[in-house]
Homo-oligomer: A and B are copies of this chain.
Amino acid sequence: MFIQLDLESAEPIYIQLQHQIIEGIAKKKLLPGDSLPSVRSLASDIGVNLHTVNKAYKQLKQDGYILIHRQKGVVVNPEGVPKADNSYRELLAKNLRPYIAEAVCRGFTEEEFIQTCKQIYSNFNERGE
């Protein structure tokens, strides 16, 4: 796997795990229907607790990124990730708000901010790493 964790970060490991897997999907390294390692094997691969991987998987399942079958294991949702809906849009706006408020305070212009976003977007639209 391509998972890279920072065990010293203040960000909980299970959140980092979620982010890494979502990035993998965004970058098309993980395609709909692809299977993911089992909780057990992933946990041992990256050296974290079973519960931690489990928590990340559960959250990803609830958000529609993956399916967890008791026998077949874990797969990326074959039907793709649920599309953006209104509640997503609201949540996103709410989450971005503090970052933009800070940017305004620090004199970081709208153009610069958007440039930053575009650059990150471009990371995801290229193929491969």
Binary contact track A18-34/B, C-beta < 8 Å → 1, others 0: 01001101100000000
Say whether A105 contacts B81, CB under 8 Å: yes
CB-contact partner of A23 in B67, B101, B112, B124, under 8 A: B101
Say whether B117 contacts A113, CB under 8 Å: yes
How many of these chains are in the complex? 4
Give the dominant DSSP class at A's interface: helix
| Chain B, Cβ-Cβ closest to A95 | B99
How distant is A91 from chain B, measured CB to nearest CB, in Å?
10
What residues of chain A have their CB less than 8 Å away from a CB belonging to chain B? 7-8, 10, 12, 19, 22-23, 25-26, 65, 67, 69-70, 72, 80-84, 88-89, 92-93, 95-108, 110, 112-114, 116-121, 123-125
